[in-house]
Amino acid sequence: MAHPLRNSSAAKIAGKSRTFFVSSRTSQGRAVLQTERMATLFIDVLRSYVAAGRFRVHDFVVMRNHIHLLLTVDENISIEKAVQLIKGNFSLRAQKDLQYRGEIWQRGFSEVRIYDRESFLCHRSYIYENPVKAGLAPTAEEYPYCSAYFRKKKNEGSG
């Protein structure tokens, strides 16, 4: 199996904060994340790491068989470690809290480094449009497993 190329030079990993668009699929593309319990648990895992200050999540979407994240890591954590924490903790919590007994994630993930505002906005738009293009909601704000939905609820004063 081919592994994604990573620039693992210490000078490129350490340093100031870095923002990435991250995607990861479920094992064999199965619709593991389609239930409310699984999607909500994934969001809870993300929130726990954000609350602990491990990294910042700008936007996310939990689809039936994959996730997309727009996140920023600082000099104390690599993107590989951040994704390992998210996927690993979610898998453990799914086993413990929901008694899920299957393989959840495909090995690895893909990431695109975000260097400028244009790229950031382009990837944010991709995340927002993902559930709409999949026919899961008429707008991103109406899809309950994405950041657009939570942002709208917060702006309405009920989030």
pLDDT digits (tens, 9 = 90+) for 57-72: 999 999 999 999 999 9
Domain spans of the chain? 15-119+126-155
For the segment 43-64, the average pLDDT, to the nearest whole number, is: 96
The pTM of this model reads 0.86
- Give me 89's structure tokens: 């903790």
When pLDDT is cut at 50, 70 and 90, the band that residue 16 belongs to is confident
The pLDDT value given to residue 74: 94
> By the 8 A CB rule, do 13 and 77 touch?
no
pLDDT digits (tens, 9 = 90+) for 131-153: 999 999 999 999 999 999 999 98
Rg, Å, the chain Cα set: 15
Collapse the DSSP code of 44 into the 3-class scheme (helix H, G, I; strand E, B; otherwise coil) and give the result: helix
> By the 8 A CB rule, do 98 and 37 touch?
yes
d(CA 6, CA 128): 26
- Alpha helices, DSSP H, located in 22-156: 36-51, 79-98, 117-133, 147-155
For the segment 107-115, the average pLDDT, to the nearest whole number, is: 96
Pairing mode, strands 18-25 and 110-114: antiparallel
pLDDT digits (tens, 9 = 90+) for 68-103: 999 999 999 999 999 999 999 999 999 999 999 889
Q: 15-119+126-155 maps to which CATH number?
A: 3.30.70.1290
d(CA 25, CA 155): 31
Residue with tokens 């609820």: 153
Indicate whether 7 pLDDT > 90: no
For the segment 51-57, the average pLDDT, to the nearest whole number, is: 95
Total residues belonging to the chain = 159
When pLDDT is cut at 50, 70 and 90, the band that residue 12 belongs to is low
